[in-house]
Amino acid sequence: MQYSALIVAAGSGTRMKLGYNKVYAKLSDGTTILDKTLSVFLNDSDCVQIVLVTDCVEHFEKEQGRKDGRIVFASGGKTRQDSVYNGLRAVLSDVVLVHDGARPFLDQESLEKIKKTMETEKAALLCVPCKDTIKHVQDGYVVETYERSTLQCAQTPQAFETDLLLTCMHKAKNDHFIGTDDTSLV
């Protein structure tokens, strides 16, 4: 199954207090987080396009030096959701995998699993079991403790039929809805 990868990498590193986009932080082997993230998709022959959403095109070209013709750029937006929307407008494939640029440890097995799921579904996501106990708190008081065995932590990539995600993005924009991840829009 051929697909486009949409890599969201337009952050500013504010939460990490780096002073620069965390995707350009160096890993122990000297590569950047973004290098590691991109390598999974660059090494997958099913990936026919990589839409890199970043406001640092010059930095990317200087630091990464990638000359792969599959990589195109889109500008970041005010929010992650806006950035994904900007990137979606450049996607050429019927299926898109939306992945956070700051998640460099996607393994081939997980990628194959989500691609296989997309052969029969309109959307799919990767999840891992939740290890923490989750509490619902209101006004400083615990009102509910969720059963951990029923909870999953969403990961990326999250996969979609491109037209479906675009339709849902338009609806979210019109309804002023901001999702916590892309699947929350579908």
pLDDT at 171 over 60: yes
Instruction: Note the pLDDT of residue 57.
Output: 58
Q: What is the 3-state secondary structure (H, E, C) of the chain?
A: CCEEEEEECCCCCCCCCCCCCHHHCECCCCCEHHHHHHHHHHCCCCEEEEEEECCCHHHHHHHHCCCCCCEEEECCCCCHHHHHHHHHCCCCCCEEEEEECCCCCCCHHHHHHHHHHCCCCCEEEEEEECCCCCEEEECCEEEEECCHHHCEEEEEEEEEEHHHHHHHHHHHHHCCCCCCCHHHHC
Q: Is residue 147 part of a domain?
A: no
Domain of residue 121, CATH code: 3.90.550.10
**pTM exceeding 0.85:** yes
54 in a structural domain:
yes
Confidence label for 33 from pLDDT (cuts 50, 70 and 90): confident
Instruction: Determine, yes or no, domain membership for 134.
Output: no
Please tell me the predicted confidence (pLDDT) of residue 16: 54
How many domains are there within the chain? 1
Parent domain of 75: 3-126+155-185
Q: Establish if 60 belongs to a structural domain.
A: yes
- 68 in Cβ contact with 39 (< 8 Å): no
